[in-house]
Amino acid sequence: MKPIKKFLALCLLLFGIPFSTVMIWEIINPKTAPKDKNDAVAALIILTIPSTFMGGWLSWSLVQQNKREQALLVESEQKRIGLVFLELAENNSGSITVLQLARNAEISTPEAKEYLDEKAKELSADFEVNEDGNISYRFSL
């Protein structure tokens, strides 16, 4: 459906905008005969303005649809990471490292660190540093 909407929007805009411009030029041109001006007004009202409006509306609806789809993808990804987080917390007695979350959730280490920092604030986690300097987030279960 999306390709059809895109194609229709493109066709309507490619028809409406140039022909609207030509019709407006005909209307404001002092050399145009009064009958031709009336024809230009009719063409503008009947053909070009509606097609331009419909093409613009279809384009706007496609942009809104893409925004909704993107928001759903982000929400779904956050839920997936949340499930991985809960599983790791349960399996490791509440102790999780950035690398564990990054590897298991298949996300980058900066993303994993940001997620764990947010969860640590939200859930009042403790931090432990091992001999190698790695930080372990400790969440109470």
- Cα–Cα distance for residue pair 118/115, rounded to 1 Å: 5
Q: Give the pTM.
A: 0.66
Give pLDDT tens digits for 91-102: 998 899 999 999
Handedness of CA 82, 84, 90, 93 (dihedral sign): negative
- Ranges of residues in the chain with a pLDDT under 70 are none
pLDDT of residue 28: 92
pLDDT of residue 96: 93
pLDDT of residue 134: 79
pLDDT of residue 69: 96
pLDDT of residue 42: 93
Q: What are the b/e assignments for 1-22, b being 16+ CB within 10 Å?
A: eeeeeeeebeebbeebeebbee
